[in-house]
Amino acid sequence: MSQRKIIHCDCDCFYASVEMRDDPTLRGRPLAVGGRAEHRGVVATCNYEARAFGVHSAMSTARALQLCPQLLLIPPDFERYRAASRLILAIYRDYTPLVEPLSLDEAYLDVTGVDRCQGSATRMAEEIRGRIRDEVGITASAGIAPNKFIAKVASDWNKPDGQFVVRPQEVDAFVAALPVKKIFGVGKVTAAKLARLGVHTCGDLRAWSLADLTQHFGSFGASLYRLCRGIDEREVKPDRIRKSISVETTYVTDLPDLAACRAALPALMEEFARRFERTQSRRPVTKAVVKIKFADFSQTTAECAASGPDVATWLRLLEEGHARRGLPVRLLGVGLRFAESEDDADEGEGKKARQISLFGDLPG
């Protein structure tokens, strides 16, 4: 394993923290930032008082209010969040140019060979977190490890306002005890499949050969094989390459049938066109995608080869996806995937993980 020194910094309930910073009367009360229940909003993030009631990000606001009737709901103010993010990124870049932002509130830092704090990544993480507290007015947690995978897991270990270090000699034992759901790209479906196979921890997963994992999980099997052993050779990349672009809308009233979905598509494509123009990406487009979430919350994604935005292609994918369930629709999304470089393919995140990221997991 390469003896890199990687720090993963992650601000604690970022949007909610900015709100509590700017209005101290909100502190100590269950608080969520998100959309209104009557507009089928979702929770973008919530503070720890709300989490005590079972509220979490990506939960519907209606469900959050059922769990916590006294929940304070605040609409997001992304200008203030971006302003705080710029300050935080400036702090990171004061330590190393190798900063890879993952969202407004989290990033990887490669501090290998950095002389500050006598070269101690642990001390640098402490200093960075202190500066975020003093200069931005919110708290952050950090993980320190020899690679990105372990650093990201470690940053969640002592939240909120804490940090955890995994030294090179500790990697093997630390990873062996991890639940497989901690592996990037392992969601509920994959975790359930692994459980049926008797695999619950990374230690359990090590008993499986690369060939067996590939047979059961396709190309993602290679990632499982490496990560369950704590092997992650991905570099921290300051300029992350956009792999996809998309827009989606959750409708206040379900779209009752395919005709209504077709009628809703032009507005979605207009929004997509504005976002696509802003990206100014020169990478070739390889696929068009349509995402559909039905009234029963089941979800499907239809995709095909494409070279750019195309109304007829998206309409065909909409028809294909809708036919799989034929139910009223609560959410529609359209998107494009860009061609991958060799470096992208080597990251080993798995096709399923890339599909999930296309439609933008909520940060915070």
Q: What is the pLDDT of residue 279?
A: 67
Q: pLDDT band at 68, cuts 50/70/90? A: very high
The answer to whether 296 is a known ligand-binding residue is: no
The pLDDT of residue 347: 38
Please give the domain boundaries of the chain with CATH numbers for all domains. Answer: 6-14+79-168 (3.30.70.270), 17-77 (3.40.1170.60), 172-227 (1.10.150.20), 244-340 (3.30.1490.100)
Q: What's the pLDDT at 75?
A: 92
Query: In this predicted model, what pLDDT tens digit does every residue of 238-248 receive, in sequence order?
Result: 876 678 888 88
pLDDT of residue 356: 33
Range in 9-18, 127-136, 227-236, 305-314 with the lowest mean pLDDT: 305-314
pTM of the model: 0.74
Please determine, for residue 110, whether its predicted confidence score (pLDDT) is greater than 70. yes
Residue 140 pLDDT > 90: yes
> Does 278 have pLDDT greater than 80?
no
Q: What is the pLDDT of residue 240?
A: 67
Q: pLDDT tens across 177-224, in order? A: 999 999 988 988 889 999 999 999 999 999 999 999 999 999 899 999
Catalytic residue positions? 106
pLDDT, position 341: 55
pLDDT band at 131; cut points 50, 70, 90 = very high
pLDDT band at 358 (very low <50, low <70, confident <90, very high): very low
Q: pLDDT exceeding 70 applies to what percent of the chain?
A: 91
Three-state DSSP string of the chain = CCCCCEEEEEECCHHHHHHHHHCHHHCCCCEEEECCHHHCCEEEEECHHHHCCCCCCCCEHHHHHHHCCCCEEECCCHHHHHHHHHHHHHHHHCCCCCEEECCCCEEEEECCCCCHHHHCHHHHHHHHHHHHHHHHCCCEEEEEECCHHHHHHHHCCCCCCCEEECCHHHHHHHHHCCEHHHCCCCCHHHHHHHHHCCCCEHHHHCCCCHHHHHHHHCCHHHHHHHHCCCCCCCCCCCCCCCCEEEEEEEEEEEECCHHHHHHHHHHHHHHHHHHHHHHCCCCCEEEEEEEEEECCCCEEEEEEECCCCCHHHHHHHHHHHHHCCCCCEEEEEEEEEECCCHHHHHCCCCHHHHHHHHCCCCCC
The answer on whether 10 is annotated among ligand-binding residues is: yes
